[in-house]
Amino acid sequence: MQKITPFLWFDNKAEEAANFYAATFPNSKITHVMRYGEGAPLPAGTVLTITVSINGLDFVCLNGGPHYTFSPATSFMAPCDTQAEVDHLWDALSAGGEVMQCGWLTDKFGVTWQITPHALLTMMSDKDSAKVKRVTAAMMQMKKLDLPALTKAFEGRA
């Protein structure tokens, strides 16, 4: 059992969001559903919480009402091995949402994601400050991260 579980508050869109994430991320599935009973704030049978396992990490989605909303101050990093993986997650998660700089986006439910190639994390921790400066400058010009372009910048070929 994981020791910390992200718990996401939705305004009556928890089930839709959980199903969307399960369909978007490989190796993901709905693992548990709890429904409101009689006398609850929402009609009996409506999802109270739904747990989605995304690549082995459980997220609990709650239909809690309109009291709270998400902000980019909390985001989830989705590390990717390939540009194709970046493209898939970016295209799916940004549809109906808002794209931001440096691989960040807010999805149609208001949840903020960082779609980040593993290789970028390695480049950004390189001991050669000139390489890090070049790749940082390239990244700052991007919304969706372009791994081939970042690699060229890192290698000084851009």
Q: Under CATH, to which class is 70-158 assigned? A: alpha beta
* pLDDT at 121 exceeding the cut of 80: yes
Percentage of the chain modeled with pLDDT above 90: 96
Per-residue pLDDT of 13-38, as tens digits, reads 999 999 999 999 999 999 999 999 99
Cβ(100)–Cβ(114) below 8 Å:
no
The model's confidence at residue 2, banded by pLDDT at 50, 70 and 90, is confident
Contact 109, 10 (CB under 8 A): yes
Give this prediction's pTM: 0.94
Integer Cα distance of 1 and 9 in angstroms: 21
Select 1-67's CATH number: 3.30.720.100, 3.40.50.1220, 3.40.50.300, 1.10.150.20. 3.30.720.100
